[in-house]
Structure 1
Amino acid sequence: MSIVFFVLILIIATVFSNALDTKIKFLPRAIIQIMMGLALSFIPNFNHFNLNPEVFMLAIIAPLMFYDGMNTNIVKLKRTLSNTFSLAIGLAVVTIILVGYLGYALLPHIPIALAFALAAIITPTDAVAVSSVTENLDLPNEAMLSLKNESLFNDASGIVMFDLALTAFHTGHFSPVLSIFNYLYVFFGGLIVGWIVGWLFVRLQLLLIETDIDNPNIIVPINFIKPFAIYLLAEMFDTSGILAVVAAGLIQSTQAQSLRLTSTKTQMVSKTTYEIFTNLMNGFVFILLGVSFPTVIYDITNEGRQVSSLGYLILVGIILYIVMIIIRYLWVTLKLANIRIRPADKVLNHFLIAINGIHGTITLSMAFSIPIVLHGKIFPFRNDIIFIAATVIILSLLVPSIILPLMLPAKSYSYSLEDISTYRQKMIEYAIKRVHDADEDPVETQAVIATLRSQQSILQRPKRNATYKILQKCFNLEEKLLQEMVDNGEISVKQQTFYERMSLFQSFQLHQSFIQHFMYRARFYFIKLSHRFKRRIKRVDPLVVTKKFNNARDELAQVENEISPQIFAYLREHLNADNRAEIHWIEEYYRERHRRFQNNTRANEIQEELFINAFQNEYNFIQEQLGKKNISRELASLLYEQVSNDEWVYMQNDSIYA
């Protein structure tokens, strides 16, 4: 139960931090989530929290890295493969060596093996954290592509070097030759395992599709368990589970080219599911960092096992962070990674690649993977290393958040929010006009129009008093129209009375609570049974009763056909921004009443045809405006996506519109 509560709190905290992120623009989402974690640390269940690194790597990091690989452009990766490996392997190894010696010089009391372990922890970069910091800035594509591709593979470099450093500390022996061979085996072994198993999973999915077992309930769970299975399998062979899931993700990205427009529903469901899941997992990472931070500080300051004061550890973190920026800048400036950049943009791009070496998920997981106990004793300097790593993570998030907005312009778009609102409004009105012109059943037409208008604004709740005032005016209009029909000889007084009684019965239910409505329905049911029993006693022919009922219903429908269009016309005439919610509610009431009176068996069919035509007309409007160059291609794409989403939602839930 405690695990369920723990996960539930993490989900709530992630959702809340994402909501805050939409309002707080000056802080990256990762910082907000760390602060949320600090707040959670005061909850009893989160006090003195210690992260299980094995569970963390399997449950959170593996699916995140798989998703990163799956969203990588394989064509661009092939084109920049040499630069990617230069940054992910060459730069990572050089950084670990230089920072390791520097860390040992700054912290001479700790063994040199642990200094290299610290360097390996703070070397890997995090593309997700980079995106969090730069999402509102116009970061050059070349720099962003290099950072994303680097982060896919340098995690493995850091993990392998970290394992080598810990092994050297445990055993007291270090063999450069064996270490190199071990590094190559773990690195390329992970890639090979991921490549093979990922290919097998892709073939399995294609086989299921070819045999018409194309069901999201089957395919999506398979895709969901894929990174966990591949990670565990790679670890069984003592290779890199992280690189294995990255390789499998890259293989998965090629599947989209094979599927194209086949299995579209499964692709949409898979994509949406993974986006939500990875968003939660990313939130968990930084929230857990915030939760863990107070425990680390407490252990350092109160248990007397630190190598130096808290202030000095912060200073060490700052120095190591600055040195890593310098190493990254020199690496690209000396063309050890030859990135294709225009000469005029070289200095800026080199600086961006240097400062955006942001650290996050892998750094945190490796820091917490340091054993708590070694040979029956507390692992030495564990909290100091974790604290320095946390300092580097926070610095790498804060510094770009402050500097980059001063250097880079905000993202610019070829359209404004006003353009989106204006052309969306025009598009909907265009579709509504075409629905009107179709000259179908007026009530079903109004139902479709009301749904189309819901695209325009956020759903609002109608105000009770305002609704009843408008409704009373509609009732008065009904009485007036009925009297005119009697005066003109179109209906009899008996039909007028019958219609008024049925209308009164329908309107009476509007003022009832749920319990009153239930009791009224129960009473009506027993009265109906009583009448049926009496007819049997009197031996009344059921066909005669049915005929009378059908005749009465037909008469009611004829009157309703005359009145309902005028009621809808009256409501449209008095529709404005202030009473939109109330009038839409009243329209729904009249549509439902009309259906009961009419018993129209083609209602759903009519609505479906009108909806299909409406969506097609929205597409036509966008194409027409794009052809006239009234809107940009980016705005057209945005509108296309919105119409496509609306259409998909309708097709999935068409029964609720009927």
Structure 2
Amino acid sequence: METFELILFLLTAVIASSILDKFLPPLSLPLVQIALGAALALAVPTPLEWGIDPELLLILFIAPLHFNESRHVDSGALWKNRWGIASLSVGLVFAIVAACGATLHALLPAVPLAAACALGGAMGSTDAVAVTALTHDRRFGRRHEALLKGEALFNDVTGTVVFQCCLTILATGSFSLLHAGEEFALDLFGGFFGGLIMGLLAWGLLQVLRRTGLDNPTLHVMLELLLPFVIYLAAKSLHIGAVIAVVASGLMLSLLPQRHTAATARTKLQAQSVWTTLEFVLNGIIFVVLGMQLPRLLEPAAEGSLGDPATLLGVVVVLTLVLEGVRFLWLLAMDVRAAIARGDGVRSCFAREALRGTLAMALAGAKGGITLSLMLTLTASAALSAAGRATLVSIASGMIVLTLVLADFAVPALTPSKRSAKRTRDRVDAEIDLTLGVIASIEADAHLTGAVKGAAVDAVDEPATVIVMHRYAEMLEDLAPAASPAAAARARAEVARVRGLYDQLDGIARRAARWDEGEGDMEGEESPAAPSLSDQFHQMRETHDAVEDVQAQALVRELQLIKAMVADDSIDAAHAKDLRNDVYIQQLVLD
């Protein structure tokens, strides 16, 4: 019962954070969830107050989120930037380990160098959940975005192996480069190729089920949800990199051929809806859990049992600056190399906009769940004293919070949002022209579709047409603020005209309702015989069917108008693709 209450508690916290996010626009949702989790941990005692199993954190949250992200990542962009991703996933992690380890040992000599490097190894792992949240609405550029996502998917192995090797050195005082190399190769290459094989087997299973007629949307979605957990546990039993195996299997499933039929489209749409909901819940829970752990992990530092709190805070700040500085210099060096390869010259990398983009990318590599799960394993290490373990965990927790805060406030200031980049004035004007054309086509087709007669709507020939026109008018109202003055004026004039028709229809319905209640007309007109309840339901059903018919025809007209606008260069191919995808989704919903 206690576990069930905890699950309900976490789900409630996620919902509450989503509501609070609407009232706290400067803060991103992950930061709101961390703050809410910390506040709840201080106010309400929960089982998480005494800690969480790091392995449970990985399998319940990291595995499915990595799996879903890898299935939808641009595999072509990953392959194109494979050497850059390898540089970030291996070379940068070692640079962070050396820089953070040496700095921490210099600031706090009581912390052994191996333990300080273990902290650096944990800090080498970028949080894929936080990166996804940042890149979802920020425009980093195609190359930088591919590098960020690839780094977040693949650098966990390097950080984990370095962390474990440092703990081994701390416990035994010896280090075997051969053994460390074998462990790294087994985790990285074993996990990658093992994941590819398991992804191929999963694809084969889905194909067999489809060909035998056993596949259906519900079964397909359930298998997809089960796959990351099965693959993670299978990889752990084979002693290969479990997280990398999950990522590789997701990439394999995205690359293998899929049938494209109406049935598979519906299955894909249903699966996407389920994964979107699950991703929101898991993302929310992992940040709430992270927030709930922070008071427990930071309490010794705040109380002063680990020394002067101001000194410890200074250490956190210095280490975070070192971490971000190393990332920035490494990324700048990569940009210089890429510019030389393109023949652009080194000077282009030091232009103001280029430096802003590089700095934004450096700060976007926030730390989170993987780092926390690694640091929590220190509680089982006998090589460190209790005070030493508490010091390292408190420093790591402070750095996690600080990197998330920097990413939350600095990245939006350095990079434009994708929404604002896409929502240019020319694109908005084109969408207004398209919507006006759809409304005109709906009105022109009124004599062919949507005719409904009845006691409540006799005075309006085409109520279904007016209802659908009003839906498109609402789109115009949303577009008008971002449009040019001329386009906005056309949009607002059409909104006013359609709203007048809709209000007329609404007024007729209200008069009919008063007649049904026996009030009669205000001018003394006698009310007609009230229709029976079955007649009213019949009229409602007919109106609903007519609205769907008009909406379906309007979507067909919209596709035709998009094609015509591409032909006369009113919109580009990318914009047309986005508009067509929106229409296809609406058509699937109607079906």
TM-score range, shorter chain: 0.7 to 0.9
Check conservation: 1:195, 1:251, Cα contact below 8 A: yes
Q: Could you list the per-position Cα deviations for residues 10-34 of structure 1 after superposition, in whole angstroms to 9, with x for gaps in the alignment? A: 2232233234445543223222221
Give the letter for the 1:124 counterpart. S
Q: How far does the alpha carbon of each residue in 1:157-211 deviate from its partner, in whole angstroms, 9 at most, with x for none?
A: 1111112222333444322221122222222111122111111101111222233
Identify unmatched segments of 5+ residues in structure 2: 455-461, 476-502
* Equivalent residue letter for 1:25: P
Query: CA 1:350–1:303 in 2, change beyond 3 Å: closer, same or farther?
Result: closer
3-state SS, counterpart of residue 446 of structure 2: helix
CA contact (8 A) 1:435 1:614 kept: no
Q: For residues 587-631 of structure 1, what are the alpha-carbon distances to aligned partners after superposition, in whole Å with 9 as ceiling and x for unaligned?
A: xx97635489xxx9xx99877755543432232233344444555
Match status 1:391 vs 2:398: yes
Cα displacement string for residues 528-574 of structure 1 (whole angstroms, at most 9, x for unaligned residues): xxxxxxxxxxxxxxxxxxxxxxxxxxxxxxxxxxxxxxxxxxxxxxx
Note the residue ranges of structure 1 that are not aligned, 5 or more in a row.
Answer: 484-498, 507-588, 652-658
Matched, 1:413 2:422: yes
The letter of the residue matching 2:446 is H
The answer to whether 1:316 aligns with 2:315 is yes
Match of 2:31 in 1: 31
Contact 1:139 1:408 survives alignment (8 Å): yes
Alignment partner of 1:436 out of 437, 446, 454: 446
Amino acid across the alignment from 1:442 = V
The aligned counterpart of 2:250 is: 249
- CA 1:378–1:334 in 2, change beyond 3 Å: closer, same or farther? closer
Q: Does the Cα contact within 8 Å between 1:87 and 1:337 map onto a contact in 2?
A: no
Q: What's the counterpart of residue 187 of structure 1?
A: 188
Q: What's the offset of the Cα at 1:217? A: 1.4
Superposition pairs for residues 356-395 of structure 1, below 5 Å? Answer: 356-372=364-380, 374=382, 379-395=386-402
1:223 aligns with 2:224: yes
TM-score, normalised relative to structure 2? 0.80
- Within the alignment, does 1:132 sit opposite 2:136 as a pair? no
**SS of 2:126's equivalent?**
coil
Identity of aligned residues (%): 24
**Cα distance in 1 for residues equivalent to 2:194 and 2:336:** 27
AA aligned to 1:270 is A
User: Secondary structure of the residue that 2:62 maps to in structure 1?
Assistant: helix
Q: 2:450 and 2:136 mapped to 1: Cα distance?
A: 47
TM-fit CA distance, 1:430: 3.6
Distance between the aligned counterparts of 2:365 and 2:348, measured in 1? 19
1:232-285 Cα offsets, whole Å, 9 max, x none, are 111112221111111111112113x43345711222222222222122212222
1:326 equivalenced with 2:335 (yes/no): no
Shift of 1:153: 0.8
Kindly indicate whether the alpha-carbon contact (under 8 Å) linking 1:321 and 1:395 is maintained by their aligned counterparts in 2.
yes
Q: Distance in 2 between matches of 1:448 and 1:591?
A: 20
Task: For 1:467-482, list aligned pairs within 5 A.
Answer: 469=511, 471-472=513-514
Aligned 8 A contact 1:17 1:33 in 2? yes
* Structure 1, 331-340 or 46-55: larger mean CA deviation: 331-340
1:226 shift after superposition? 0.7
Cα pair distance change 1:335/1:47, threshold 3 Å: closer
Deviations 1:367-420 (CA, angstroms, capped at 9, x unpaired) = 223335749x97552332222112222222222444344443454225459758
1:283 corresponds in structure 2 to: 284
> How far does residue 449 in structure 1 lie from its aligned partner after superposition?
5.5
Distance 1:26 1:632, change over 3 A: farther
What is the SS of the residue equivalent to 1:371? Answer: helix
Aligned to 2:124: 123
Alignment match, 2:266 = 265
Q: 1:421 to 1:608 in 2, by over 3 A?
A: closer
CA contact (8 A) 1:331 1:337 kept: no
- 2:74 corresponds in structure 1 to 73
Distance of aligned partners of 1:592 and 1:112 in 2 relative to their CA distance in 1, 3 Å threshold: same
User: 1:228 Cα deviation (Å)?
Assistant: 0.7
Alignment check: 8 A CA contact 2:468 2:547 kept: no
How far the C-alpha of 1:61 sits from its partner, in A, is 0.7
| Distance of 1:414 and 1:282 partners within structure 2 | 27
Alignment of 1:548-559 (within 5 A): none
Cα RMSD for the two superposed structures: 3.8
Residue 354 of structure 2 is aligned to residue 346 of structure 1: no
Moved more, 169-178 or 119-128: 169-178
Describe how 1:497-516 pairs up with structure 2 within 5 A. 500=529, 503=530, 505-506=532-533
Normalising by the residue count of structure 1, what TM-score does the alignment of the two structures yield?
0.72
Q: What SS does the corresponding residue of 1:44 show, helix, strand or coil? A: coil
Q: Does the CA-based 8 Å contact 1:190-1:240 persist in structure 2? A: yes
1:622 matched to 2:567? The reply is no
Query: Where do residues 127-206 of structure 1 align in structure 2 (5 Å cutoff)?
Result: 127-133=128-134, 135-206=136-207
Distance 1:294 1:125 in 2: 22
* 2:191/2:242 contact within 8 Å kept: yes
Q: Is the 8 A contact 1:443 1:591 kept in 2?
A: no
Residues of 1 paired with 2:117 and 2:449: CA distance?
A: 77
Other structure's SS at 1:51 match: coil
How far residue 58 of structure 1 moved from its aligned partner, in angstroms, is 0.6
Give the letter aligned to residue 412 of structure 1.
A
Q: Give, in whole Å, the separation in 2 of the partners of 1:59 and 1:44.
A: 22
Structure 1 residues 606 and 325, CA gap change in structure 2 (3 angstroms): closer
Give the partner amino acid of 2:32: I
Distance 1:94 1:132 in 2: 26
Residue 53 of structure 1 deviates from its aligned partner by 0.7
1:372 touches 1:382 (CA, 8 Å); kept in 2? Answer: no
Aligned-pair CA distance for 1:465: 12
1:17 matched to 2:27: no
Q: Which residue of 1 aligns with 2:489?
A: none
Deviation for aligned residue 1:68: 2.1
Distance 1:93 1:45 in 2: 38
Aligned twin of 1:538: none
Matched-pair contact (CA < 8 Å) for 2:35–2:291: yes
2:410 counterpart (403, 409, 412):
403
Instruction: Name the larger-Rg structure.
Output: 1
Contact 1:329 1:350 in 2 (8 A): yes
Contact 1:60–1:281, Cα closer than 8 Å, also in 2: yes
Cα pair distance change 1:48/1:180, threshold 3 Å = same
Kindly tell me: are residues 443 and 381 of structure 1, through their superposed partners in 2, closer, same or farther at Cα, counting changes over 3 Å?
Answer: farther
**Aligned amino acid, residue 558 of structure 2:** E
Letter in 1 for 2:219: I
Cα distance change, pair 213–593 in 1 and its aligned pair in 2 (3 A): closer
**Against the structure 1 CA distance between its residues 18 and 339, is the aligned structure 2 distance closer, same or farther, given a 3 Å change threshold?**
farther
Tell me how far apart the structure 1 counterparts of residues 221 and 375 of structure 2 sit (CA, whole Å): 33
